[in-house]
Amino acid sequence: MISSDLNEKIIYKFYHTGINNYKVDFYSVHQSDSTKLFEHFITDAIFSSTPYKISQNEHEVIIRNQLFSKEKKLITQNGKSIILTNR
């Protein structure tokens, strides 16, 4: 779990997709409803290390990873900003 408050949780799940490869899905979960925010693929070397640096405040979650090629901003159904960056 990345973030959690009374209204919403931001989570990610790893899936082994083949030799040395993983898919990572990020979701927003509100009550019993979940929405997939984005996905990307990583290698075993990155999976074995700490792949994400996460910081947050009341209104946004910033997820850092060197694999993100450009900055992306998403807004969840409950209005929380999710920022993906390689910085």
Residue range 52-59: average pLDDT? 84
Residue range 43-52: average pLDDT? 74
* Secondary structure percentages of the chain, helix, strand, coil, to 5: 5, 60, 35
Determine the pLDDT at residue 1: 66
| Structural domain boundaries enclosing 52 | 3-85
Are the beta carbons of 76 and 43 closer than 8 angstroms?
Answer: no
Determine the pLDDT at residue 86: 82
Determine the pLDDT at residue 48: 73
- Report the 10 Å Cβ neighbour count for 77: 11
79 φ, ψ to 5°? 90, 10
Determine the pLDDT at residue 70: 80
More confident residue, 35 or 44: 35
Q: How many domains does the chain have?
A: 1
